[in-house]
Amino acid sequence: MINQSENEIIWSNDFLKLHNIPNKSCGLFVATKEYIPIESFKNAFEKAAVFAKQNNWQNFIFDKRNLTVFHQPSMEWYYTTWKKELASSGLTRHFKILPKENWFKASVEAGKDEIKSKYPNFNFDAFEVKYVDNVDEALSQI
């Protein structure tokens, strides 16, 4: 269980809450709604990039369990722009907590395949992505 004394909410909008977990060199984004409009998504992750660099995060957890909508353009930007930028700053370990619905997991896999097809020179090996069931499982691997 996340200990409130070990992390703090450092930023939020209507769709996401960003936590800093300093003892794990980690940021945690929790989706709070079933859908995140792309501009709100990009703005939130641009804010997270600033905090990641300020706090020297090497790990990032994205808890998507509240999402009920998969949005390919957001995922594409997240991989090809945000993750690429943060990998060069040392944030290379990503943990994903997906909704339980099988169709969402299948959409993520299809989305990654589409990115690989559309961006054949994109280096997926620049960062590590692990899928976990909850925040505690992610934290236990850091």
* 85-135 pLDDT per residue, tens: 999 999 999 999 999 999 999 999 999 999 999 999 999 899 999 999 999
Dist. CA 18–CA 48, nearest whole Å: 7
| Total structural domains within the chain | 1
> What burial letters (b/e) apply to 89-121, b meaning 16+ CB within 10 Å?
eebbbbbbbbbeeeebeebbeebeeebeeeeee
Residue with tokens 């559309």: 118
CATH number at residue 56: 3.30.750
Q: Based on the number of CB atoms within 10 Å of its own CB, is 2 exposed (0-12), middle (13-18) or buried (19 or more)?
A: middle
- Encode pLDDT of 47-77 as tens digits: 999 999 999 999 999 999 999 999 999 999 9
Predicted local confidence at residue 104, as pLDDT: 94
Which structural domain, as residue segments, surrounds residue 41? 4-140
